[in-house]
Structure 1
């Protein structure tokens, strides 16, 4: 049985649900435990790894449905995983800090339907796996982040750790990052996530279904050095239709303080992370220095039929004034009209976006328009604010500007066939559709030749 349920969920043939919006709270919890692969990236951390493996040996998740994959990032001595049943070790060469590549290496060796990423210095409580994977067991596309707490575990043995879990003396607890706690509280554990919530996803306690992980493309192996790959993955997962969730009851303990609490500040390292992210994440906060990057936030398709060179110039100019965008001119006369400008703007190209073209938003402009400064940016912001799938600007019965969320379309396209549903219709069912009259938007149809002189 498949189809739409009264609360907006869609039931897949395998019994899981496709959720509307970011409604992880609608995911069923009373489901059979999935097969899980815990992927642990490792480098020269044998004592800490032994604590993690001891903790994994006492998980409440059924042992017969739990695999552990240790992905070694080129340690001089291979990790010793002891006798923990079902543990696989995979290794890559030491070519610098390559946690993203190590996690992907581990994921390729995974058998489980759900991937549970856990750092080698982050010790899960006995209920961690069971709680962390529950959302992914019942719903598609979920990217869940557990709660990472901090403790001083230096010198601890596996036996002492297990005594703690059995009610014995606890370690000294260290400060938990307040900014992250506040973000989870203010977003209701990411229930009200938006396109900037990637900042609240941590790969040390990250869980998602294996198929969705690879549909997103895994971690970007171009990251070499500490940090950034989790934010980039989360931003891309959101773009591809992911449901972000914080599972506060899934607790794992990081051995040592949070980066911000450490005694030394690596500003050069943090700047390297920011530089790596700016070209990959279209958040305006990452792009506040005025540099244009190859990956645009918005792709704009402009139909050139009915345009003169002047109306097309005004239309395109209105877009580029407002948006971090690449413009695609589509129409038989597109090349000739653009050639008359004599410009060399690399943000403007001829032809429709290719299948590999990425962006967070797609805008289709069907008629010549002009706009007050900020008007198109305001419409994109409105789409974001309402977590909508589409916003149509209309003149009478005609849609003159269509603004679409790539996230909404990606989720619908991924599941439409299994649900025997048209993808466009499914997107409208899963995400709100907004409709605005052109007269209320500070946009205006260009019905006559504009003045270009000065």
Structure 2
């Protein structure tokens, strides 16, 4: 009985002036186990003995064995790489360290259902491709991360296993254990390494792929993983998908004898921190209260509703939001407070009179990196929601579904959810549970002082 065709897998390798290491990687890829021959359909069968990590036991084949296409993405080497027949080479000009752009160029050069990424100094073990592909089969919303191990390869051979095995760094193993292999917890994207990651092309396109605008070493993998999560994607660590890095990890290369970073590596790491702050709207990447074009919290005030009929009520609601710092608010333009709001916030980019923004709309594919705030808030009645500390607001948000904050009469003041939760509904058809209802008084949220005719803003601004 003939079933579905094999999975098509593009393996993308960024390259720059290291032919010997490329030869080693290509040799390792040519010896991968569990692959199908191009063009051959597979008989339908039950899945074979996968464990919870998606590992393929040696000598067995998954129900849809992958057909592999290798793409070498050259970051402007003076001499193009030499590759065997059947391997695709995509090249870009040398305009500095542009590994992120090279990876995206390689992804665009292929058409595989799955995308796997290997660094130019990382050699896959014999079951690497099949293990990654098995975990991704029929999971278009999944991004997986393999296990990068460390060793020293002999410079004179194309051996695919290191001569000397180095110890694994402590941090990744502890993080993967703490997060149950990247399935629970906050900031899971910090466990993603572009050297050993893979995902469905649908998720890659939905998130916008690796950002070609990132120049310099480090951070593009975290940026992509963050955007995949915001697009509703899931993450998982696969410890059996092993690939070998030639040499120690970054910390091992950067550390001096006394354990301190040397000046060059410290500058490199600081540049990465500065690069990621505007790209990833997370407390793990940016200073508290900073102002960024991509806000951590996006708010829309539905001020055209009758609940905001009192003069100053919409403006007072906006004033409270500034306590969050890293926020952007739009206010329904039909509000009677539009002129007051325009005057109060004329030079403040965080508040604007306009329609509810693009953050709430489904994303299109192929439109470049898609960046979203962490938290989306709709305010339906006047309230000083900004009195709620950001940390508590973030803690209120469930991973799926939403929260409704109600006043004493049971009327909804605000609707709060994460961008990821909204994307699970819009992009992946996940039906959300009913909103969790929380009383405003239990959160310390108060009305803005409306005396029946409106709010005196001098009291809100100056405490008069």
Q: TM-score range by the shorter chain?
A: 0.7 to 0.9
CA–CA distance in 2 between the matches of 1:33 and 1:63? 7
CA–CA distance in 1 between the matches of 2:386 and 2:69? 57
Alignment of 1:21-420 (within 5 A): 34-64=7-37, 65-83=67-85, 86-155=86-155, 157-158=157-158, 160-161=159-160, 171-194=163-186, 196-262=187-253, 265=262, 266-288=265-287, 290-305=289-304, 306-322=308-324, 324-332=326-334, 333-339=336-342, 341=344, 344-355=347-358, 358-371=372-385, 373-375=387-389, 377-383=391-397, 386-395=398-407, 396-416=409-429
Deviation at 1:322, TM superposition (A): 2.7
The normalised TM-score by structure 2 is 0.81
- Deviation per CA, 1:320-356: give whole Å up to 9, x if none: 2135210101141242231454753221001124437
The question of 1:441 aligning with 2:443 is answered: yes
**5+ residue gaps in structure 1?**
1-14, 16-30, 165-169, 417-425
Q: 1:55 to 1:433 in 2, by over 3 A?
A: farther
- What secondary structure, in the 3-state scheme, does the structure 1 residue paired with 2:80 have? coil
| Contact 1:390-1:434 within 8 A present in 2 as well | yes
Deviation at 1:171, TM superposition (A): 2.1
| Contact 2:300-2:330 within 8 A present in 1 as well | yes
CA–CA distance in 2 between the matches of 1:113 and 1:391? 36
Deviation at 1:397, TM superposition (A): 4.2
Q: 1:401 to 1:260 in 2, by over 3 A?
A: same
- Deviation per CA, 1:122-144: give whole Å up to 9, x if none: 01111001111222212121011
| Contact 2:324-2:386 within 8 A present in 1 as well | no
Q: 1:399 to 1:72 in 2, by over 3 A?
A: same
Task: Say which is worse superposed, 285-294 or 117-126, in terms of deviation.
Answer: 285-294
Q: 1:304 to 1:376 in 2, by over 3 A?
A: farther
| Contact 2:311-2:337 within 8 A present in 1 as well | no
CA–CA distance in 2 between the matches of 1:137 and 1:96? 36
| Contact 2:322-2:386 within 8 A present in 1 as well | no
* Count of residues paired in the alignment: 401
| Contact 1:74-1:95 within 8 A present in 2 as well | yes
CA–CA distance in 1 between the matches of 2:420 and 2:188? 14
CA–CA distance in 2 between the matches of 1:314 and 1:393? 18
Q: 1:354 to 1:319 in 2, by over 3 A?
A: closer
The normalised TM-score by structure 1 is 0.82
| Contact 2:143-2:199 within 8 A present in 1 as well | yes
**5+ residue gaps in structure 2?**
38-66, 256-261, 361-371
CA–CA distance in 1 between the matches of 2:76 and 2:299? 44
